Amino acid sequence: MTDLRQRLHARALAGVQTSSRLAEADLAALVTDEAPLLSPGEASAVLATLWSDVHGLGPLDPVLADPDVTDVLVHGAGEVWVERRGQLERLSLRLDASTVGGLIERIVGPLGLRVDRSSPIIDARLSDGSRVHVVVPPLAVDGPCLTIRRFGVQRLTLDAFASPPVARLLAGAVAARANIVVSGGTGAGKTTLLNALAAFIDKRERIITIEDAAELRLDQGHVVRLEARPANAEGAGRVAIRDLVRAALRMRPDRIVVGETRGGEALDMLQAMNTGHEGSLSTCHANAPDDALRRLETMVLLAESGLPLDAVREQLVAAVDLVVQVTRRSDGTRSVVEVAEVVEGGHPGSRGRTRRLADTGGLVARPVRPRLAGG
């Protein structure tokens, strides 16, 4: 059966070179021609495998079909790991280097990207929005590495992250047009929480989302989705998050939602928050709310605007209302562990700091900023 699969795969790939996409009927004809004595059940199974090999991700398709799998990690040595319900586990499935290389080419090829020794690190996404990160030799010493961050099949609500009082506080803050930054580590659930927060934006508002890979799924009727674009194989055509933030400001947004702030676009976001675009949402990597402010300061300075640090801090304190800290616990669950308000540092030109409004143990009932109270 392995030889049959290889022969069919070779013929199908030859067909793809002359026709950009083979229909199921074309593949069924190949199966019948190559193995006419198969029973209907066997032919159907072979056809399903061939379809997955040609148009899907072959041996990874059954793994990606599991709704509990959030990450798929393929090591160069052939090991396949997954994160399922927050826990890492190794599968019995093993892939050789050529198979992993073929999967990588199938992902990046249609996007006009190239991965080789001269361009050994690539970020891409699948058609369902799942993020893909690739590292190949010589950087990946033991062979090509493929990481797939699943696009969530099941959307979580605020109640899945926080107690009812904290969820009500956050829902009210979004509705009152507070500027919110979600902070947390890698895999903590920042984007998922951002999606849950955005659900409380008024359906009449025009929302522009900006992401490296389009993951957010908003139900409002007026949503414009923008996605950054890496450079092509010739090194041209790159469109960065910062370019999209600037473009969004000219598109009459009521709300701007940036999937992740990680560079100079932080300056443009702060300026937008301070010039009439209240209610903006974003995420950043940080271990605590105060750390998030320091990270945002650093990212604004990366924009090379020439602004002095005191001016950056003044803009930061004036722009950001709340920092929501989310973490992944040891049992794999994601939880909001702190909601903090950004307040003055205590003297002119000092660093902004955060004042805890809510955590898993309690809640300050009254929001401090007038905007949070709807004023």
Handedness of CA 50, 56, 60, 62 (dihedral sign): negative
Position 57 in a domain: no
- The half-sphere exposure of 265 on its side-chain side, counting CA atoms within 13 A, is 25
Q: Are residues 250 and 290 in the same domain?
A: yes
pLDDT reported for residue 153: 56
Beta sheet of 69-74, edge-to-edge order:
87-94, 79-84, 69-74, 145-149, 131-135, 121-125
Distance CA 365, CA 159 (A): 18
Position 59 in a domain: no
Using alpha carbons, select from 341, 342, 343, 335 the residue that is nearest to residue 361.
Answer: 335
Using alpha carbons, select from 257, 136, 264 the residue that is nearest to residue 208.
Answer: 257
Question: Final residue of a domain: which of 120, 149, 178?
Answer: 149
pTM value is: 0.74
Q: Are residues 246 and 128 in the same domain?
A: no
Which residue is listed with tokens 């143990």?
361
pLDDT reported for residue 357: 61
Position 60 in a domain: no
Question: Residue 369 carries which side chain, given as an amino acid letter?
Answer: R
Q: Are residues 212 and 73 in the same domain?
A: no
Position 224 in a domain: yes
- Helices 265-273 and 289-302: crossing angle in degrees, nearest 10, is 110
Q: Are residues 37 and 110 in the same domain?
A: no
CA-to-CA separations, 285 to 168, 184, 210, in angstroms, rounded: 24, 5, 17
pLDDT reported for residue 187: 82
pLDDT reported for residue 327: 92
CA-to-CA separations, 149 to 129, 187, 258, 303, in angstroms, rounded: 9, 9, 18, 28
Question: Final residue of a domain: which of 129, 149, 169?
Answer: 149
Q: Are residues 251 and 351 in the same domain?
A: yes
Position 367 in a domain: yes
Alpha helices by DSSP H, listed for 303-373, are: 309-319
CATH code of 208's domain: 3.40.50.300
Question: Final residue of a domain: which of 115, 149, 183?
Answer: 149
CATH code of 108's domain: 3.30.450.370
Q: Are residues 137 and 169 in the same domain?
A: no
pLDDT reported for residue 76: 78
Position 6 in a domain: yes
pLDDT reported for residue 201: 94
Which string of b and e fits 197-208 if b means at least 16 CB within 10 Å? bbbebeeeeebb
Using alpha carbons, select from 215, 224, 217 the residue that is nearest to residue 255.
Answer: 224
Within 10 A of 179 (CB to CB), how many other CB atoms are there? Answer: 24
Run means of pLDDT, 10 residues per run, the chain, 375 residues? 54 45 61 63 62 66 84 87 87 85 80 80 80 89 89 76 91 93 90 92 93 84 89 76 89 91 86 83 92 90 82 87 90 86 60 55 35 39
Q: Are residues 329 and 231 in the same domain?
A: yes
- Domain containing 321 equals 158-373
Position 58 in a domain: no
Q: Are residues 168 and 315 in the same domain?
A: yes
Q: Are residues 205 and 292 in the same domain?
A: yes
pLDDT reported for residue 170: 94
Count of all residues that appear for the chain in the document? 375
Distance CA 215, CA 71 (A): 14
Q: Are residues 254 and 202 in the same domain?
A: yes
Q: Are residues 143 and 43 in the same domain?
A: no
Tokens of 2: 């392995």
pLDDT reported for residue 35: 63
Q: Are residues 100 and 166 in the same domain?
A: no
Q: Are 185 and 285 in contact (CB under 8 A)?
A: yes
| Domain total of the chain | 3
Position 143 in a domain: yes
Distance CA 316, CA 284 (A): 14
